[in-house]
């Protein structure tokens, strides 16, 4: 049995939660092979059984284009969406040929809109798995002109060919899907014990006192980090991107045997922009989040009130984040009790639904 799984390459969250659903699919169906089609980094899928997946680059949506880690560009994103739709025929034709060659029985999407066109052309069922849809994200940007509204309608039209949407928490979706089913939280908490994780970290990371992970994709500048940590010598800051700019800053090397979620599991908190993957993993491991708000991305506004129900969120203003004024936010997080881990059974739930429909 072969499934094709198309995943948006925007950020890491789509790929990380898809990896959890794929892991559960493979556990529930021993004869299954999953063909992963994405532009997301390949290392995210390293923990999966490699003999049962086939990973190949494909991009059926442009996601959202960022000016930097905290600013999404409306103009660049809309231009990228138009460019993707201008190339839709060649993109779709390539994938239709692949689907027939690979003899797949169904498609899962998180959440490229052109997968709907694959369903229309091949007759294969396509099930979406996401906390948001791209037409919902783009909607605030595409209402001023008839051309904009036509663009949004085209994207929604592709989604209307989906068989069903499995709606994860923390987001919003459009109303074009024939079926929408709410899922439990989808997360992949660390499978390692805290002692096993700590044994993989540099000795300085095992110092007494709290640990905070600096998890901003793209890293944090050395200047900001130096200013931020100077006032908190009793706190150890782990960085997965960057160098030891101070005595209490410890670089951590990730790999197949030590993933981001493993490091997260031994920390009291993480400093990062919000996204589904981070919020879900933190909720599932009881880790707090210190987050500077993103400008221009609709997901944040919908995510915060829902994520606060299951995770500890401490907002830091962008100006304070960029100035290295982190002390108030970090001390505020550390002064409160650690939240209990939230149930995260969504991967198993989604896998069962998908297999029942394929």
150-200 residue pLDDT tens: 999 999 999 999 999 999 999 999 999 999 999 999 999 999 999 999 999
Judge if 142 and 231 occupy the same domain.
Answer: no
Residue 68 has pLDDT above 90, yes or no: no
pLDDT of residue 319: 95
My answer on whether 106 and 146 are in the same domain is yes
Does residue 51 have a pLDDT over 90?
A: yes
Per-residue pLDDT, averaged over 136-151, amounts to: 94
Cβ atoms of 235 and 248 closer than 8 Å: yes
Residue 294 is predicted with a pLDDT of 87
* Residue 147 neighbours by CB distance under 10 Å: 9
For residue 304, being part of any structural domain is answered with yes
Given a contact cutoff of 8 angstroms between Cβ atoms, the answer to whether 270 and 290 are in contact is yes
* Mean pLDDT of the 68-94 span: 95
Angstrom distance (rounded) from CA 279 to CA 305? 12
Give the pLDDT of residue 244.
85
Cβ count within 10 A of residue 108: 28
27 and 149 together in one domain: yes
Q: Is residue 203 part of a domain?
A: yes
Residue 18 pLDDT greater than 90, yes or no: yes
Residues 327 and 218 in one domain: yes
Q: What is the CA radius of gyration of the chain?
A: 21
Kindly report the CATH number assigned to the domain that includes residue 210. 3.40.50.2000
pTM comes to: 0.94
What integer pLDDT is reported at residue 36 of this predicted model?
A: 98
pLDDT for res 38: 97
Other Cβ atoms within 10 Å of 60 Cβ, number: 27
Are 176 and 232 found together in one domain?
no
The pLDDT of residue 329 is 98
Looking at residue 84, its pLDDT comes to 97
Domain shared by 52 and 112, yes or no: yes
Among 44-58, 87-101, 108-122, 287-301, which is the least confidently predicted range?
287-301
User: What's the confidence (pLDDT) of residue 216?
Assistant: 86
Confidence of residue 129 (pLDDT cuts 50, 70, 90): very high
Q: Tell whether 94 and 212 lie within a shared domain.
A: no
Q: 181 and 320 in one domain?
A: no
Share of the chain above pLDDT 90, in %: 89
Based on the fold, state whether residues 160 and 260 are members of the same structural domain: no
- According to the model, what pLDDT value does residue 217 have? 76
Which residues lie closer than 8 Å to 319 by C-beta, 6 or more apart? 325
- Phi and psi for 242 in degrees, rounded to 5? 125, -175
Q: Is residue 341 part of a domain?
A: no
Tally of structural domains, the chain: 2
β-sheet bridge partners, residue 236: 211
Q: Would you call 84 helix, strand, or coil by DSSP?
A: helix
Mean pLDDT over residues 46-71, rounded?
Answer: 93
pLDDT at 124 over 90: yes
- For 219-276, what is each residue's pLDDT tens digit? 788 899 999 999 999 999 999 988 888 999 999 998 888 999 999 999 999 999 999 9
Per-residue pLDDT at 128: 98
In this structure, is residue 340 part of a structural domain?
Answer: no
Encoding tokens for residue 120?
């229309």
Q: What is the pLDDT of residue 157?
A: 98
Examine the domain organization and report whether 203 and 304 are in the same domain.
yes
> 225 lies in which domain range?
194-335
Q: Is residue 24 assigned to a domain?
A: yes
Q: How confident is the model at residue 148 (pLDDT cuts 50, 70, 90)?
A: very high
Please compute the mean of the pLDDT values over residues 77-97 and round it to a whole number. Answer: 97
For residue 344, pLDDT over 80 is answered with yes
H/E element holding 308? Answer: none
Place 69 in a pLDDT band, splitting at 50, 70 and 90: confident
**Inside any domain, residue 243:** yes
Please check whether residues 213 and 98 belong to one and the same domain: no
Domain shared by 149 and 174, yes or no: yes
Mean pLDDT in the chain? 95
Strands 236-239 and 249-251: parallel
């Amino acid at each position: 049995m072969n499934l094709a799984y198309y995943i948006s390459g925007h950020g890491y969250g789509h790929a990380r939660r898809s990896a959890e659903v794929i892991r559960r699919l493979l556990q529930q169906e021993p004869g299954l092979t999953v063909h992963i089609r994405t532009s997301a980094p390949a290392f995210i899928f390293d923990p999966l059984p490699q003999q049962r997946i086939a990973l190949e680059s494909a991009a059926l949506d442009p996601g959202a284009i960022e000016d930097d880690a905290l600013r999404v560009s409306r103009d660049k994103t809309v231009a990228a969406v138009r460019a993707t739709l201008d190339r839709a025929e060649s993109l779709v034709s390539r994938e239709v040929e692949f689907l027939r060659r690979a003899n797949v029985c169904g498609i899962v999407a998180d959440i490229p809109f052109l997968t709907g066109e694959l369903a229309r052309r091949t007759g294969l069922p396509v099930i979406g798995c996401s906390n948001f849809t791209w037409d919902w994200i783009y909607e605030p940007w595409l209402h001023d002109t008839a051309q904009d509204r036509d663009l949004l309608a085209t994207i929604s039209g592709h989604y209307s060919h989906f068989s069903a949407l499995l709606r994860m928490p923390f987001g919003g979706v459009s109303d074009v899907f024939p079926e929408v089913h709410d899922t439990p939280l989808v997360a992949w908490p660390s499978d390692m014990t805290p002692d096993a994780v700590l044994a993989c970290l540099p000795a300085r990371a095992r110092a007494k006192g709290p640990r905070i992970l600096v998890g901003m994709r793209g890293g944090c500048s050395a200047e900001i980090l130096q200013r931020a940590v100077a006032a908190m010598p009793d706190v150890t800051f782990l960085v997965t991107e960057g160098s030891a700019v101070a005595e209490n800053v410890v670089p951590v090397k990730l790999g197949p045997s030590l993933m981001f979620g493993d490091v997260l599991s031994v920390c009291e908190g993480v400093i990062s922009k919000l996204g589904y993957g981070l919020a879900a993993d933190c909720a599932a491991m009881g880790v707090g989040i210190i987050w500077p708000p993103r400008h221009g991305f609709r997901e944040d506004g919908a995510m915060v009130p829902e994520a606060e129900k299951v995770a500890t969120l401490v907002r830091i203003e962008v100006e304070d984040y960029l100035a290295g004024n982190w002390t108030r936010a970090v001390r505020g997080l550390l002064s409160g009790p650690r939240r209990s881990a939230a149930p995260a059974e969504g991967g198993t739930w989604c896998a069962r639904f998908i297999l029942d429909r394929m």
